[in-house]
């Protein structure tokens, strides 16, 4: 079995860095990642999706979409993060 570096595997499967397909993959990966963080924190606080939705003024299916990485807008991510007593930090690279 051939060993590959992660960057080479990503390039093979999703295109070169900066390509449209690679950027789409990156965006989807971040949405999934943020959704998992939200889901884990909600469960840690013993909140249902319904209760979290009520807290932020949304409907339960919306929270489900966020947790599934389907709808992560910064404004809504901030709203949900605040309701979960979380913060989002932006830093220079």
Does position 26 have pLDDT exceeding 70, yes or no? yes
Exposed, middle or buried by CB within 10 Å (0-12, 13-18, 19+), for 81? middle
d(CA 57, CA 55): 6
Residue 57 pLDDT > 90, yes or no? yes
The model's pTM? 0.80
Average pLDDT of the segment spanning 48-57: 97
| DSSP states of the chain | -----HHHHHHHHH-STTSHHHHHHHHHHHHHHHHHHHHHHHHHTT--HHHHHHHHT--HHHHHHHHTTS---HHHHHHHHHHTT--------
Residue 3 is predicted with a pLDDT of 85
Q: Supply the pLDDT for residue 73.
A: 80
Predicted pLDDT of residue 71: 65
**pLDDT at position 2, please?**
79
């Amino acid at each position: 079995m051939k060993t590959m570096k992660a960057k080479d595997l990503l390039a093979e499967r999703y295109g070169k860095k900066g390509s449209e397909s690679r950027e789409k993959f990156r965006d989807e990966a971040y949405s999934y990642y943020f959704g998992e963080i939200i889901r884990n924190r909600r469960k840690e606080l013993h909140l249902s999706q319904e209760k979290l939705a009520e807290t932020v003024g949304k409907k339960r299916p919306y929270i489900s979409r966020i947790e599934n990485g389907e709808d992560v807008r910064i404004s809504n991510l901030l709203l949900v993060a605040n309701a979960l007593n979380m913060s989002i930090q932006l830093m220079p690279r």
